[in-house]
Amino acid sequence: MLYTVPVRQTICWLYACLREYLPSALPTHRTTTSIEQEEFFAMEVIIKENPEAMGKLAAELIAEVVRRKPKCVLGLATGSTPLPTYKELIRLHKNEGLDFSRVTTFNLDEYVGLVHEHDQSYHYFMWENLFKQINVNPKSVHVPDGMAKDIPAFCRWYEEQIVKAGGVDMQLLGIGSNGHIAFNEPGSSLGSRTRVKTLDDGTRQDNARFFKSMNEVPKYAITMGIGTIMDARQLILLANGAGKAEAIKQTCEGPITAMVPATVVQLHPKATIIVDKPAATKLTRDYPAEPRVLVLN
């Protein structure tokens, strides 16, 4: 099956191949873009000692965007992996004055059928773990509504709101043990948009620890599509623990395939993958512990 991707993303992929296999063909000095004066990464992988160090780095990358563009749009994720990132963002807000008052947020996903007040809904998660403790405007917060009466119409509206806000400047991602990003399960279209997805049994089992029983784990979720995610100007993907090692190996070093949705991140022009040492155990290449910035014409 063929997929159409933006030319810029294809160029970034070609650049990444050159960097890996023919580095002498690339410039070794810093130059400046003539079009956008824009930092250009392609995908980079950073290995940190532990989840706390991961969270600190991810939060600083997000904070840089907020400082540079106070009216930025952030895409946010849920689950245990981003918690250290949110803890550090809260610290930056309380101790260093990081201002979220003009920031707009869009969350990746939400379970279908859980009311906002349910302690496992992603509305509840975000307010308890981040929004209540920073000065974000509640009117600027967007989380998919799993209780929407007309879910397809809601999904179209959600996409329209992202466009209306000017697009996502920085998107935070986790990754499932099967390589899913958001709730885009294996086999998802690489050009997909916000929609309802049926959750794989493995994903439900991974999330069962948050519910009283497997029967309570929702079977459906609203999720941003892979195409929606790839439209973001910058991506950060986080993974920790040995249980994510195979997914990270495929994401960073495997072929791009819809069967491992996270591999599409290789095509993004500005993506940073931050993992801890257990999640990096199956990687075969050498990766740094700190980000680099490369600017090209």
Res 13: pLDDT: 54
Residue 231 has pLDDT above 80, yes or no: yes
Q: What is the 3-state secondary structure (H, E, C) of the chain?
A: CCCCCCHHHHHHHHHHHHHHHCHHHCCCCCCCCCCCCCCCCEEEEEEECCHHHHHHHHHHHHHHHHHHCCCCEEEECCCCCCHHHHHHHHHHHHHHCCCCCCCEEEECEEECCCCCCCCCCHHHHHHHHCHHHCCCCHHHEECCCCCCCCHHHHHHHHHHHHHHCCCCCEEEECCCCCCCECCECCCCCCCCCCEEEECCHHHHHHHHHHCCCHHHCCCEEEECCHHHHHCCCCEEEEECCHHHHHHHHHHHHCCCECCEHHHHHHHCCEEEEEEECHHHCCCCCCCCCCCCCCCCC
Residue 7 has pLDDT above 60, yes or no: no
Q: Which distant-in-sequence residues (6+ apart) come within 8 Å of 19 by Cβ?
A: 26, 42
The model carries a pTM of: 0.85
So what CATH class is 41-280?
A: alpha beta
Exposure string (b/e) for 98-114, b if CB count within 10 Å is 16 or more?
A: bebeebbbbbbbbbbeb
Alpha-carbon distance of 45 to 36, in angstroms, equals 24
> What are 147-166's pLDDT values in tens digits?
999 999 999 999 999 999 99
Task: Identify whether the C-beta of residue 12 lies closer than 8 Å to the C-beta of residue 268.
Answer: yes
Mean pLDDT of 3-31: 49
**Sheet architecture: strand order including 73-76:** 42-48, 270-276, 235-239, 170-173, 73-76, 104-107, 141-142
Assign 292 a pLDDT band (cuts: 50, 70, 90). Answer: confident
For the chain, what percent of residues have pLDDT higher than 90?
78
Res 291: pLDDT: 86
Assign 16 a pLDDT band (cuts: 50, 70, 90). Answer: low
> What are 108-119's pLDDT values in tens digits?
999 999 999 999
> What are 133-144's pLDDT values in tens digits?
999 999 999 999
* 4-8, 95-99, 138-142: least confident range: 4-8
* Domain definitions of the chain by residue range: 41-280
Assign 3 a pLDDT band (cuts: 50, 70, 90). Answer: very low
Res 195: pLDDT: 98
Residue 102 has pLDDT above 70, yes or no: yes
> What are 172-199's pLDDT values in tens digits?
999 999 999 999 999 999 999 999 999 9
Alpha-carbon distance of 13 to 289, in angstroms, equals 22
Mean pLDDT of 226-244: 98
Residue 40 has pLDDT above 70, yes or no: no
- Enzyme catalytic residues: 109, 178, 180, 185
Residue 70 has, within 13 A of its CA and on its CB side, a CA count of 7
* 8-12, 235-239, 246-250, 266-270: least confident range: 8-12
Mean pLDDT of 214-240: 96
Res 9: pLDDT: 52
Q: What's at 266, amino acid-wise?
A: Q
Dmax (CA) for the chain in angstroms is 57
What does the block give as tokens for 148? 């929407």
> What are 56-93's pLDDT values in tens digits?
999 999 999 999 999 999 999 999 999 999 999 999 99
Res 36: pLDDT: 39
